[in-house]
Amino acid sequence: MSVIPESNVDVLIVGAGPAGLMMATWMAKCGINARIVDKRGTKIFNGQADGLQCRTLEILDSLGFGHRAWREANHMLEICLWNPDENGIIRRSDRIPDTIPGISRFQQVVLHQGRIERFFLDSIAEASDIRVERGVMPSSLKIDESAVEDDAAYPITVTLRHLSEEEATPKQSSTSANGQSVQDGLFRSNLAKDDTQDLLDAAKINAKANSEEVIHAKYMIGADGAHSWTRNQIGLKLEGDSTDYIWGVLDIVPITDFPDIRMRCAIHSADCGSIMVIPRENKLVRLYIQLTTTSKNGDNSGRADRSKINPQMILESAQRILAPYKITYRKLDWWTAYQIGQRVGTSFSVHERVFLAGDAVHTHSPKAGQGMNVSMQDSFNLGWKIASVVKGHAHRSILKTYQSERRRIAQDLIAFDHKFSRLFSGRPAKDVMDAEGISMEEFKAAFEKGNMFASGIAVNYGASAIVAKEGSSEEQGDGTDVSVANAKHRVISDQSLCSGITVGMRIPSHKVLSQADARPWHLHEVLPSNGRWRVIVFAGNTNDDRQRDKLGKLSEVFSAPNSFLNLYTPKGARYDEVFEVLLVHKAPRQSVTVLDFPEVFRPYDEVDGWDYNKIFVDEVSYHEGFGDIYGALGIPQDGCIVIVRPDQYVSYVGSMEEPAAVNSFFAGFMKEQHAKDEAPTNGTKV
Ligand X SMILES: Cc1cc2nc3c(=O)[nH]c(=O)nc-3n(C[C@H](O)[C@H](O)[C@H](O)COP(=O)(O)OP(=O)(O)OC[C@H]3O[C@@H](n4cnc5c(N)ncnc54)[C@H](O)[C@@H]3O)c2cc1C
Q: Name the residue among 98, 79, 381 with its Cα closest to residue 221.
A: 381
Pick one of 223, 438, 582, 643: the residue that binds ligand X (CB under 6 A): 223
> x-or-dash pattern for ligand X, window 103-142, by CB under 6 A?
----------x-----------------------xx----
H-run or E-run covering 330: strand 327-338
Q: Pick the catalytic residue: 280, 286, 303, 645? A: 280
Taking a C-beta distance cutoff of 8 angstroms, is the pair 58, 104 a contact?
Answer: yes
Taking a C-beta distance cutoff of 8 angstroms, is the pair 298, 244 a contact?
Answer: no
**Could you give the CA distance from residue 328 to residue 433 in angstroms, rounded to a whole number?**
36
Q: Pick the catalytic residue: 38, 50, 251, 378? A: 50
**Could you give the CA distance from residue 534 to residue 541 in angstroms, rounded to a whole number?**
21
Q: Smallest distance, Å, CB 520 to ligand X? A: 25
Q: Say which entry of its own copies, ligand X, none residue 517 contacts (CB below 5 to 8 A, set by partner kind).
A: its own copies
674 Cβ contact partners less than 8 Å away, ≥ 6 residues apart: 567, 570, 571
**Candidates 35-43, 413-421, 605-613, 628-636; binding stretch for ligand X (CB under 6 A):** 35-43
Q: Smallest distance, Å, CB 594 to its own copies? A: 7
Q: Smallest distance, Å, CB 266 to its own copies? A: 16
366 is catalytic: yes
Q: Name the residue among 677, 426, 636, 442 with its Cα closest to residue 550.
A: 636
150 vs 198, beta carbon nearer ligand X: 198
68 vs 408, beta carbon nearer its own copies: 68
CA dihedral 62, 67, 69, 71 (to 10 degrees): 170
Q: Say which entry of its own copies, ligand X, none residue 565 contacts (CB below 5 to 8 A, set by partner kind).
A: none
Footprint on this chain of its own copies (rule: CB under 8 A)? 67, 71, 74-78, 95, 97, 99, 101-102, 107, 253-257, 259-263, 279, 283, 326, 328, 330-331, 514, 516-519, 590, 593-595, 606-610, 612, 621-623, 686
Q: What is the DSSP string of 499-521?
A: TT--TTSBPP--EEEETTT--EE
Q: Pick the catalytic residue: 84, 138, 366, 598? A: 366
**DSSP bridge partners of 643:** 535, 652
Residue type at 553 in one-letter notation = K
206 vs 637, beta carbon nearer ligand X: 206
Q: Say which entry of ligand X, its own copies, none residue 77 contacts (CB below 5 to 8 A, set by partner kind).
A: its own copies
353 vs 362, beta carbon nearer ligand X: 362
40 vs 550, beta carbon nearer ligand X: 40
138 is catalytic: no
Q: Say which entry of ligand X, its own copies, none residue 485 contacts (CB below 5 to 8 A, set by partner kind).
A: none
Taking a C-beta distance cutoff of 8 angstroms, is the pair 385, 398 a contact?
Answer: yes
**Could you give the CA distance from residue 603 to residue 609 in angstroms, rounded to a whole number?**
8
**Could you give the CA distance from residue 255 to residue 239 in angstroms, rounded to a whole number?**
42
403 vs 651, beta carbon nearer ligand X: 403
Pick one of 13, 24, 36, 50: the residue that binds ligand X (CB under 6 A): 50
Q: Smallest distance, Å, CB 497 to ligand X? A: 37
Q: Say which entry of ligand X, its own copies, none residue 299 contacts (CB below 5 to 8 A, set by partner kind).
A: none
3-state secondary structure (DSSP) of residue 319: helix
Pick one of 9, 15, 27, 273: the residue that binds ligand X (CB under 6 A): 15
Q: Pick the catalytic residue: 154, 245, 288, 461? A: 288
90: exposed, middle or buried (Cβ count in 10 Å: 0-12, 13-18, 19+):
buried
Q: Say which entry of its own copies, ligand X, none residue 48 contacts (CB below 5 to 8 A, set by partner kind).
A: ligand X
256 vs 375, beta carbon nearer its own copies: 256
Residue 37 binding ligand X, by CB under 6 A: yes
Q: What is the DSSP string of 170-205?
A: PSS-EEEETTEEEEESTTTSTTSPP-HHHHHHHHHH
**Could you give the CA distance from residue 528 to residue 660 in angstroms, rounded to a whole number?**
26
Taking a C-beta distance cutoff of 8 angstroms, is the pair 320, 336 a contact?
Answer: no
Q: Say which entry of its own copies, ligand X, none residue 358 contacts (CB below 5 to 8 A, set by partner kind).
A: ligand X
Q: What is the DSSP string of 554-621?
A: HHHHHHSTTSHHHHHSPTTS-TTSSEEEEEEE-S-GGG--GGGS-GGGS-EETTTEE--SSEEE--B-
Residues 185-204 that bind ligand X (CB under 6 A): 185, 188-189, 196
369 vs 462, beta carbon nearer ligand X: 369
Q: Smallest distance, Å, CB 79 to ligand X? A: 16
661: exposed, middle or buried (Cβ count in 10 Å: 0-12, 13-18, 19+):
buried
Q: Say which entry of ligand X, its own copies, none residue 443 contacts (CB below 5 to 8 A, set by partner kind).
A: none
CA angle 117, 248, 237 (to 5 degrees): 65
Q: Smallest distance, Å, CB 238 to ligand X? A: 13
225 vs 456, beta carbon nearer ligand X: 225
CA 603 to chain centre: 32
Residue 40 binding ligand X, by CB under 6 A: yes
280 is catalytic: yes
3-state secondary structure (DSSP) of residue 127: helix
Q: Smallest distance, Å, CB 29 to its own copies? A: 18
Within 10 angstroms of residue 307's Cβ, the number of other Cβ atoms is 6
Residue 381 binding ligand X, by CB under 6 A: no
Q: Smallest distance, Å, CB 264 to ligand X? A: 13
Q: Smallest distance, Å, CB 593 to its own copies? A: 4
Q: Smallest distance, Å, CB 542 to ligand X? A: 37
Q: Say which entry of its own copies, ligand X, none residue 19 contacts (CB below 5 to 8 A, set by partner kind).
A: ligand X
Residue 212 binding ligand X, by CB under 6 A: no
307 Cβ contact partners less than 8 Å away, ≥ 6 residues apart: none
Residue type at 91 in one-letter notation = R
Q: Say which entry of ligand X, its own copies, none residue 590 contacts (CB below 5 to 8 A, set by partner kind).
A: its own copies
Q: Say which entry of ligand X, its own copies, none residue 429 contacts (CB below 5 to 8 A, set by partner kind).
A: none
**Could you give the CA distance from residue 482 to residue 505 in angstroms, rounded to a whole number?**
17
What are the contacts of 99-104 at 24+ separation with CB within 8 A? 99/54, 99/451, 99/455, 100/451, 100/452, 100/455, 103/54, 103/452, 103/455, 103/457, 104/54, 104/55, 104/57, 104/58, 104/455, 104/457, 104/509
Q: Name the residue among 566, 565, 567, 537 with its Cα closest to residue 552.
A: 537
375 vs 421, beta carbon nearer ligand X: 375
227 vs 522, beta carbon nearer ligand X: 227
**Could you give the CA distance from residue 92 to residue 539 in angstroms, rounded to a whole number?**
51
Active site residues: 50, 280, 288, 366
**Binding region for ligand X (CB under 6 A):** 14-20, 37-40, 48-51, 113, 137-138, 185, 188-189, 196, 223-225, 229, 336, 338, 358-360, 366, 369-372, 375
